[in-house]
Amino acid sequence: MREAAIIGYTQSAQRRYAGAANESELIMPVVREVMQSVGVSQKDIDFTCSGSCDYFQGAAFAFVEGLNAVATAPPIRESHVEMDAAWALYECLLKIWSGEADLCLVYGFSKSSPGELRSVLTLQLDPYYQVPLWPDAISLAALQARAMLDAGIISERDMAEVVARSRRAALANPKAQLSGESSVEELLAQPGFVSPLRRHDCAPITDGASALLVASAETARRLCARPAWIRGIDHRMETGMLGARDLTRSPSARYAGARAGVSAGAVDVAELHAPFSHQEIILRRELGLADGVSINPSGGALAGNVMMAAGLDRFGHVATRIMQGEAGRGVAHATSGACLQQNLVAVLEA
């Protein structure tokens, strides 16, 4: 298989409400900036792939508007996944591996602010048996956290430690929506939200967009001094029936991590797409990440969670650290569905 590397990444400021800007207006600046960062324009791009979800915007075919943000005359080779843009990156890799493209543009975006995100996500469930009960996304995550607490795998203090570390790390990320110094005690003193979750255990609702460039080996070397090579990547799905899963585990993340080769070397940094604090702990365990690994130095999804871009952002942040020489080997992870139903894991190296 042909080699591929990430050579550029840009993220918009993460905000609770992007104001008057529509989706195209959110996308255009990041697409332009990432292309400028490596000195290419749309005519140099062989394939463009985006990730978004119509339902967050409340309009069918909403991604079509998004395409207005890139130059399309002459027409471009393009695709779109109704998933996190990390899977759009995967589609780009398929194009590179099969020799159909050398330089690909990926972007992910959403404005979750116009709608009722918690209820929209309910519609991801079985429409006949689960949706009529209207379990919302946070309640489902709370079931998972409860299962872990009851099994004695984690404590509420462990969850608070994840939050404290993430918010503190986000102080160094100017794009982060939430950041700050809070002690574990302060966090544990906060009131409950959806028991056992407190508000800070849940990722915020965020508007924004991100763009990333991925290239075949020769193109990557030509355009980037220190590309972030994708050494292994795999993604796996689990059943949609929550009752059929052991929610304290994530066999799909474990298997994808093994296939991606996470354990083949020391990991400097890992960006894990964990929209809830307890999910980071599951992922660390399943991926076998040692205590010394720097987890979510960007602040992670708890510091800013653009739906359909937050997984791609994990790739972008790991790649940026490698491109800037701050890390040699890193793990990027993206998730989809309720309670970590689907997981994508990659190993990036200098």
Partner 1 sequence: MSETREPITGIEVPINLQFKFTAGKALTRFLTSIREGRIVGQRCPGCNNVYVPPRGMCAACGIPTEEEVSVSDEGVIESFTVVHIPIPGNPIKPPFVAANILLDGTDMACLHRVSEVDNAKVHVGMRVKARWKPREEWDYTFENIAWFRPVEGS
Partner 2 sequence: MGNRVAVVGIGQTKHKSKHKDVSIAGLVRQAAERALEDAGCTWKDIDALILGKAPDMFEGVVMPELYLTDALGGNGKPVLRVHTAGSVGGSTAVVAANYVQSGAFRRVLTVSFEKQSESNATWALSPRMPFVPHVNAGAGGFFAPYMRLYMERYGVPAHIGCMVAVKDRLNALKNPYAHLQIPDISLEMVQQSPMLWEPIRFLESCPSSDGACALVLADEQHAARSPNPPAWILGTSTRADGSMYAGKDNIHPASLIACAKDVYSKAGITDPRRQIDVAELYVPFSWYEPMYLETLGLCGEGEGWKLVESGVTALDGDVPINASGGVLSSNPIGASGMLRFGEAALQVRGMAGAHQVEGARLAIGHAFGGAHSYYAMWAVSADKP
Which spans of this chain sit near partner 2 (rule: CB under 8 A)? 1, 53-55, 58-61, 63-65, 67-68, 72-83, 87, 90-91, 93-95, 97-100, 120-121, 123-128, 234-241, 251-252, 255, 336-338, 341-342
- Shortest spacing between CB 107 and partner 1, in angstroms: 12
DSSP string, 180-245: ----HHHHHTSPEEETTEEGGGBPPPBEEEEEEEEEEHHHHHHH-SS-EEEEEEEEEE--S-GGGS
Could you give the CA distance from residue 218 to residue 49 in angstroms, rounded to a whole number? 21
Give the DSSP letter of residue 13: P
Query: 3-state DSSP call for residue 320?
Result: helix
Residue 151 sits in the site that holds partner 1 (CB under 8 A): no
Residue 42 sits in the site that holds partner 1 (CB under 8 A): yes
31 binds, among partner 1, partner 2, none (CB under 5 to 8 A by kind): partner 1
- Shortest spacing between CB 19 and partner 2, in angstroms: 18
Segment interacting with partner 1 (CB under 8 A) among 51-59, 85-93, 183-191, 255-263: 51-59
Of 261, 271, 253, 264, which Cα lies nearest the Cα of 232? 261
164 Rama class: left (phi>0) / alpha (psi -120 to 50) / beta: alpha
Residue 24 sits in the site that holds partner 1 (CB under 8 A): yes
Residues numbered 71-110 forming contacts with partner 1, rule: CB under 8 A: 71-73
Residue 49 sits in the site that holds partner 1 (CB under 8 A): no
Q: For residues 347 and 234, is the Cβ–Cβ distance under 8 A?
A: no
Could you give the CA distance from residue 109 to residue 270 in angstroms, rounded to a whole number? 22
- Shortest spacing between CB 149 and partner 2, in angstroms: 25
Give the DSSP letter of residue 16: S
21 binds, among partner 2, partner 1, none (CB under 5 to 8 A by kind): partner 1
- Shortest spacing between CB 297 and partner 1, in angstroms: 32
Residues numbered 230-289 forming contacts with partner 1, rule: CB under 8 A: none
Could you give the CA distance from residue 250 to residue 258 in angstroms, rounded to a whole number? 13
Which of 36, 79, 119, 183 is the binder for partner 1 (CB under 8 A)? Answer: 119
Site size for partner 1 (CB under 8 A): 33
Bridge partners for 159 per DSSP: none
Tell me, residue by residue from 192 to 231, as one string, x for binding to partner 1 by CB under 8 A and - for no binding: ----------------------------------------
DSSP string, 235-293: EEE--S-GGGS-TT--HHHHHHHHHHTGGGS--SEEE---SBHHHHHHHHHHHT--TTS
Q: For residues 229 and 5, is the Cβ–Cβ distance under 8 A?
A: yes
Cα 94 versus chain centre, distance: 19
Nearer to partner 1, 111 or 235 (CB): 111
- Shortest spacing between CB 114 and partner 1, in angstroms: 5
342 binds, among partner 2, partner 1, none (CB under 5 to 8 A by kind): partner 2
Residue 179 sits in the site that holds partner 1 (CB under 8 A): no
**Phi, psi of 191, deg, nearest 5:** -70, 160
Which of 30, 40, 69, 141 is the binder for partner 1 (CB under 8 A)? Answer: 69
Residue 131 sits in the site that holds partner 1 (CB under 8 A): yes
For residue 94 the two structure tokens come to 């398929």
- The contact set with partner 1 (CB under 8 A) reads 18-22, 24-25, 28, 31-32, 42, 57-59, 67-73, 111, 113-116, 119-120, 123, 127-128, 131-132
